[in-house]
Amino acid sequence: MKRRDFIRTGCLTCIGGTAITLALQGCSSAYYAKQIGLKQNNLLVKKSEFIEVKKDGKQNMRNVIVAKYEKLGFPIALFRLGEDQYSAIYLECTHQGNEVQPHGNYLVCEGHGSEFDNKGKVTQGPAEKALRTFNVKTDEEYIYITLA
Ligand code: FES
């Protein structure tokens, strides 16, 4: 292989690798809710947190957001399952306790590769137990995640 071909091939490989890395980062970057609060035994999240306003002003509904409350240890993924239907899933892996990350409509543990659906059920091991879930209620404005 000539030097010029070697350099060209190497550069294309680097660009391809960078693109794949950025794509994977894009998949795992979850939106963290900013408007959350605690009322009695409930973590409150504003429903409007699911609305994503794009640069062109158009709105899009997120299918998952993450709520972080320091005293819990791990965050909670809040999936929008349908019109006013949500699941709240504690992001501690049941395998060995690593943090699970939302990827689109499912959850992945980067510790050893376990995967879970948007209701916390195992879809791929080594984890065998479902993730902890919380009861969810709603009103006009808020989603109430019951922590007990
Ligand atoms: S800690 Fe999650 S798969 Fe092992």
Name the closest-CA residue to atom 1, ligand 1: 96
pTM given for the model: 0.78
Identify the DSSP state of 131.
P
Top pLDDT among 16 and 101 is at 101
Distance 64 CA to ligand 1 centre (A): 21
What dihedral do alpha carbons 34, 114, 84, 133 form, nearest 10°?
A: -80
Distance of alpha carbon 64 from alpha carbon 44, whole angstroms:
15
Q: Is the minimum distance from the CB of 98 to ligand 1 under 6 angstroms?
A: yes
Q: Is the minimum distance from the CB of 34 to ligand 1 under 6 angstroms?
A: no
Kindly report the backbone phi and psi dihedral angles of residue 8, in degrees, each rounded to the nearest multiple of 5, phi listed first. Answer: -60, -45
Using one digit for the tens of pLDDT, what is the confidence trace for 6-36? 444 444 443 444 343 333 334 457 899 888 8
| Neighbour-count burial of 100, counting CB atoms closer than 10 A to its CB (0-12 exposed, 13-18 middle, 19+ buried) | buried
Using one digit for the tens of pLDDT, what is the confidence trace for 111-131? 999 999 999 999 999 999 999
Name the closest-CA residue to atom 3, ligand 1: 112
Distance of alpha carbon 87 from alpha carbon 78, whole angstroms:
6
pLDDT band at 5 (very low <50, low <70, confident <90, very high): low
Pairing state between β 85-90 and 76-82: antiparallel
Q: Residue 87: which residues within 8 A CB-CB, separation 6 or more?
A: 78, 79, 81, 118, 119, 120, 133, 136
Q: Is the minimum distance from the CB of 76 to ligand 1 under 6 angstroms?
A: no
Instruction: Please give the angle made by the CA atoms of 147, 141 and 74, to the nearest 5 degrees.
Output: 30
Q: Is the minimum distance from the CB of 93 to ligand 1 under 6 angstroms?
A: yes
Q: Residue 141: which residues within 8 A CB-CB, separation 6 or more?
A: 46, 47, 48
